[in-house]
Amino acid sequence: MESTLTPRTAGEVRDAVAWAVSAREPLRVIGGGTKASVAPPIQTGHTLTLAGLSGIVAYEPEELVLTLKPGTPMAEVTAALDEANQMLAFEPPSFAPLLGSSGTATFGGTFGTNFAGPRRLTAGAVRDHMLGVEAVSGRGETFKAGGRVVKNVTGYDLARALAGSWGTLAVATLLTVKVLPRPETEATVVLDGLAAEAAVGAMAQAMGSSADVSGAAHLPADVAAIVPDAKGAATLLRLEGFGPSVASRRAMLEGLLKSHGPRLLEREASAALWPKVRDATPFVGTDGAVWRCSVAPTMGPRVAAALPTGSRVMFDWAGGLLLVETPAVGDAGAAALREAIRRAGGGHATLLRAPPAVRAAVPTFQPTATGIAALAGRLRQAFDPEGILNPGQLGR
């Protein structure tokens, strides 16, 4: 039997999970499904989609709080925030073009993956902005944690902890997230032609200054075509805020990095460029496998150096986030990449995109460290003792 369950209320989500528990039938839990190809295939015929559980329930710009159902399309969220000059500060990527998926990205999928964009460097990831959750556990029981206020330490911080759990612990039915004012303006200082090591050094210098940089990325020459007037590699430093402040910080940053010959992208060019960094646009429509890796920023170039020939890499988060395209053959560089990350003091690599043959050979998620595996098993037991929700995700 194959089925797609599209509950429209939290009660129906609970009924669906309770049925799956009683029938011992695993559920593939998705939002809009735009990132579903990232997750390893699950041996089940039953999909629980949250697309039917949609809508903004409460939005109070002056409280900086947004409460919504998980199936709410990201476009609807963005539109509502735009109207009040606010934003999700974690700058969620739109990976649908990269992954070649159709469908509508939802807030639930953003929550479940904890994927954040360039501003994560200073503003935090999805989890940093989560305030409250109502959910159905893999036991088929409804529970809530956190609340609807921006400062709350009442009980374990499950709203944050469930972010990035890939739907393996519980199915969210209502989410509250902190929102922030959108910057009045932005500009990007560009340094041309730096090698990765030098670029990471310049980015560290900028991040350590009081220029309050909100995005720091380095694009080697083979991915720099998205930068206007690129001359070889491009190192990008974004400034956001009120007009007079951006102007003053820009002058300060240009002074600080004078030896690298900085040039400026004004507001429109800057605003057009960063979404392409965020969404790994240089890798859209290519044949390669795509990885998303996080390491200590200064270790970025070292990890990149271990990649197989023919790889391309974009450095974000001042060098700490590597969006990598590798030839989609063999293990697509998995062993070399994960070993380099281990040697770099730790971090992780997630396989975002790969043909089925590579997928079959390579764990999508960073394998869980031995010491933590047993604890992770007990945590799963605490939420989903029958292993109903998204089995196979997150290295399980």
Contacts of other proteins in 271-290 (CB under 8 A): none
Please, which residue, 34 or 165, has the CB nearer to other proteins?
Answer: 165
User: 239 vs 10, 87, 318, 322, CA distance in Å?
Assistant: 41, 16, 14, 21
Interface pattern 289-328 for other proteins (x via CB under 8 A) = -----xxxxx------------------x--xx-------
Pick the binder of other proteins from 160, 218, 238, 353 (CB under 8 A). 160
Do 271 and 219 touch, CB atoms closer than 8 A? Answer: no
Q: How far apart are CA 251 and CA 192, in angstroms?
A: 17
Contacts of other proteins in 200-259 (CB under 8 A): 201, 204, 207-210, 212, 241-242, 244-245, 247-249, 252
Phi-psi region of 237 (alpha: psi -120 to 50; beta: other; left: phi over 0): beta
Q: At 103, is the secondary structure helix, strand, or coil?
A: coil
Check binding of 195 to other proteins (CB under 8 A).
no
Q: At residue 167, what is the residue type? A: G
Check binding of 371 to other proteins (CB under 8 A).
yes
Check binding of 197 to other proteins (CB under 8 A).
no
Tell the smallest beta-carbon distance from residue 71 to other proteins (Å).
Answer: 14
Please, which residue, 15 or 76, has the CB nearer to other proteins?
Answer: 15
Closest CA to 347 of 296, 396, 291: 296
Tell the smallest beta-carbon distance from residue 309 to other proteins (Å).
Answer: 25
Helix axes 196-207, 243-256, angle to 10 degrees: 130
Tell the smallest beta-carbon distance from residue 231 to other proteins (Å).
Answer: 26
Interface pattern 334-363 for other proteins (x via CB under 8 A) = -----------xxxx---------------
Check binding of 127 to other proteins (CB under 8 A).
yes
Burial class (CB in 10 A: 0-12, 13-18, 19+), 153: exposed
Please, which residue, 40 or 227, has the CB nearer to other proteins?
Answer: 40
Q: Residue 295 phi/psi, 5° resolution?
A: -140, 170
Instruction: Estimate to the nearest angstrom the gap between the alpha carbon of 104 and the chain centroid.
Output: 16
Closest CA to 81 of 64, 94, 95: 64
Please, which residue, 104 or 137, has the CB nearer to other proteins?
Answer: 137
Instruction: Choose the stretch contacting other proteins; rule: CB under 8 A; options: 13-21, 92-100, 220-228, 353-361.
Output: 13-21
Instruction: Choose the stretch contacting other proteins; rule: CB under 8 A; options: 73-81, 94-102, 146-154, 325-333.
Output: 146-154
